[in-house]
Amino acid sequence: MRRLRQAKIVATLGPASSSKEAIQALFDAGADVFRFNFSHGSHQDHQARCNIVREIERAAGRPIAILADLQGPKLRVGQFAEGRVTLLAGAEFTLDRDPTPGDVHRVCLPHPELFEVVDAGQSLLLDDGKLRLAVLGRGADRRSIRTRVVSGGVLSDRKGVNVPDVVLPIPALTEKDLRDLDFALDMGADWIALSFVQRPEDVLQARAIIGDRAALLSKLEKPAALDGLDAIVAVSDAIMVARGDLGVELPPERVPGVQKRILRACRQHGKPIVIATQMLESMIGAPVPTRAEASDVASAIYDGADAVMLSAESASGAYPVEAVRIMDRIIGEVEKDPLYRQMIDAQNQAPQPNSGDAICSALRDVTRIVGAVATVTYTSSGHTSLRAARERPTAPILSVTPNLSTARRLVLAWGVHSTVSQEVRNVDRMVAAACQAALEQGFAVAGDSIAITAGVPFGQPGSTNLLRIAQIWPVVPAAAA
């Protein structure tokens, strides 16, 4: 089942999409990557969904990627004696370390590390930014934070707390995350999404645990991450612009510009980028999106995003399959627009002074000049395919690899159509494997030309140094031969 588009769709699984029939319908509608949200559901739930995805993958004969999204260090207030309170603008409100249920004057904040860094003049945002508190100061014993309510409203048990003005001294992996990570790796997740990344060290900590068992995607949800953006992108395998918490901690008018800045950084580094959160939010309860939502998805594609993501729309909404279908249609419509190619070409980055970039830059031009119907990348680690994707060639990228794990990870990347082939040991066999894959996957017919790139010696990661043009010859039946 070949996709006739280059950008990918990530669909979150949940209560509305747990059965084999539902997941199959999402895949048939266009989902390329399935996201497992470890903020919800049990390990048993995730394992059952994983088994279904792998069953669908085997039947389709096409790699499907699984993204395990860790919850991260989500900060929350404690509980209230009556379950909720109404905070009025202008009133004083205290957050402290007393576990006693709160009231209209105070509540427990069970995160002692915050009392060390929060100070007068800063802001606290509660319940996804619906309430805003201005910090007046903290107690001498650093066990309380005095605030004044700037924007009031109803605050109930365990609502989230955002601290936009500081880098929080908390690890990116909580005890729950470590348990979930261990399970996700054993389950066979292809990508691990690390939440609330603030600095490169957060990514390196996770990398030390994950090793090469999965690829690592960093979710940018804190303004602090923007200060070290290039360094974070450099040590990550992919990036997600998680506009939920990011949109809470940043003024709304800054989010579009920040999104474009992150997109440019990822394109420069050749790292896949996923745009997420509220893309088709209204489709949680409606069969069609708003025109503004359709424009939001289209804008991400025009900007060169590798993938766009559905969250509650596919996990718990009333129209999960319809949401994937309309996203597929929006992407297809954008990619047919001549302006899209102009915008993609205008974003092209200068190649780095190394053989891999030089070859893939030449590959882009060769594909266009000779009219190749496909760009075939033979890769073991995925490096060659990712460098080719960075160039955004006009012909689709057919990635051929002997490693199923590599094929699954590459599903996330722009324009990459992943296939698994037997390992080859010489150039002639590699060219033959590329031609066979182009024929079998429907990218070429006899007489077409394809452009092929690979790294020699084969199996050595990061060694892209070969570029070939090959013509597809008719397949001669065994009897006739």
The domain boundary residue, chosen from 336, 363, 390: 336
87-133 per-position pLDDT tens digit:
999 999 999 999 999 999 999 999 998 998 999 999 999 998 999 99
* Residues with Cβ within 8 Å of residue 24, at least 6 apart in sequence: 56
DSSP 357-385: HHHHHHHHHHHHHHT-SEEEEE-SSSHHH
Confidence class of residue 444 from pLDDT cuts 50, 70 and 90? Answer: very high
Q: Are residues 97 and 35 in the same domain?
A: no
CA 82 to mean position of chain CA atoms: 39
In a domain, 342, yes or no: no
State residue 460's pLDDT score.
75
Same domain, 458 and 322: no
d(C-alpha 347, C-alpha 461), whole Å: 27
Q: How far is CA 162 from the centre of its chain?
A: 22
**Shortest CA distance to 126 belongs to which of 116, 114, 138?**
114
**pLDDT value for 361:** 85
Do 156 and 31 fall into the same domain? no
CATH number of the domain within which 429 lies: 3.40.1380.20
List the catalytic residues.
35, 76, 219, 277
Residue 167 lies in a domain: no
Task: Give the Å distances, CA to CA, from 401 to 1, 215, 388, 461, 474.
Answer: 18, 16, 14, 12, 23
> Are residues 271 and 391 located together in one domain of the fold?
no
Is 417 inside any structural domain? yes
When the pLDDT of each residue in the chain is averaged and rounded to a whole number, the result is: 93
**Residue at which a domain ends, from 162, 196, 212:** 162
Looking at the structure, tell me whether residues 66 and 182 fall in a common domain: yes
pLDDT at position 475 is: 59
> Do residue 272 and residue 414 come from a single domain?
no
Contact 456, 462 (CB under 8 A): no
Residue 231 has pLDDT above 60, yes or no: yes
The whole-number pLDDT of residue 36 equals: 98
Q: Is residue 2 part of a domain?
A: no
Query: Does residue 479 register a pLDDT over 70?
Result: no
Q: Does 474 have pLDDT greater than 90?
A: no
CATH number at residue 294: 3.20.20.60
CA 388, CA 306: separation in Å to the nearest integer?
13
For 121, which DSSP code?
T
The domain boundary, picked from 113, 136, 162, lies at 162
Instruction: Examine the pLDDT at 78 and tell me if it is beyond 90.
Output: yes
Q: Are residues 448 and 380 in the same domain?
A: yes
How many domains does the chain divide into?
A: 3
In a domain, 428, yes or no: yes
pLDDT at residue 1 in the model = 59
| Domain hosting residue 376, numbered range | 355-471
Cα–Cα dist 475/481, whole Å = 10
Percent of the chain with pLDDT over 90: 79
**Residue 55 pLDDT exceeds 50:** yes
Buried b (16+ CB within 10 A) or exposed e, 40-73: ebeeeebeebbebbeebbeeeebbbbbbbbbbbb
Check pLDDT > 50 for residue 289.
yes
pLDDT tens sequence across 326-368: 999 999 999 999 999 999 998 887 777 787 788 888 888 898 8
Q: Categorise residue 443: left if φ over 0, alpha if ψ from -120 to 50, beta otherwise.
A: alpha
pLDDT value for 480: 46
Peptide bond before 338: cis, by omega within 30 degrees of 0? no
Residue 66 belongs to some domain of the structure: yes
Give the domain CATH number at 116: 2.40.33.10
Q: Are 200 and 238 found together in one domain?
A: yes
In a domain, 219, yes or no: yes
Same domain, 416 and 314: no
CA 415 → CA 105, 191, 306, 313, 392, distances in Å?
55, 18, 8, 24, 7
Cα torsion through 302, 306, 312, 318, rounded to 10? 70
Return the pLDDT at 96: 97
Q: Are residues 110 and 154 in the same domain?
A: yes
Q: What is the rounded distance in angstroms from the CA atom of residue 272 to the CA atom of residue 411?
A: 10
Split at pLDDT 50, 70, 90, the class of 481 is: very low
Between CA 247 and CA 402 the distance in angstroms is 41
Share of the chain above pLDDT 70, in %: 98
| 147 in the same domain as 253 | no
Residues 375-413 have pLDDT tens digits of: 999 999 999 999 999 999 999 999 999 999 999 999 999
d(CA 295, CA 334): 10
What's the pLDDT score for residue 476? 53
- Closest by alpha carbon to 335, among 361, 301, 367, 296? 301
| β-pairing verdict for 131-138 and 123-126 | antiparallel
Residue 347 lies in a domain: no
Please give the pLDDT value at position 477: 52
Return d(Cα 346, Cα 339) in angstroms, integer: 10
The pLDDT of residue 172 is 86
Instruction: Round to whole Å and give the CA distance between 156 and 50.
Output: 34
For residues 452 and 414, membership in a common domain is answered with yes
Higher-confidence position of 250 and 327: 327
Single-letter amino acid code for the residue at 425: R
Separation of alpha carbons 358 and 465, rounded Å: 8
Q: How far apart are CA 250 and CA 234, in angstroms?
A: 23
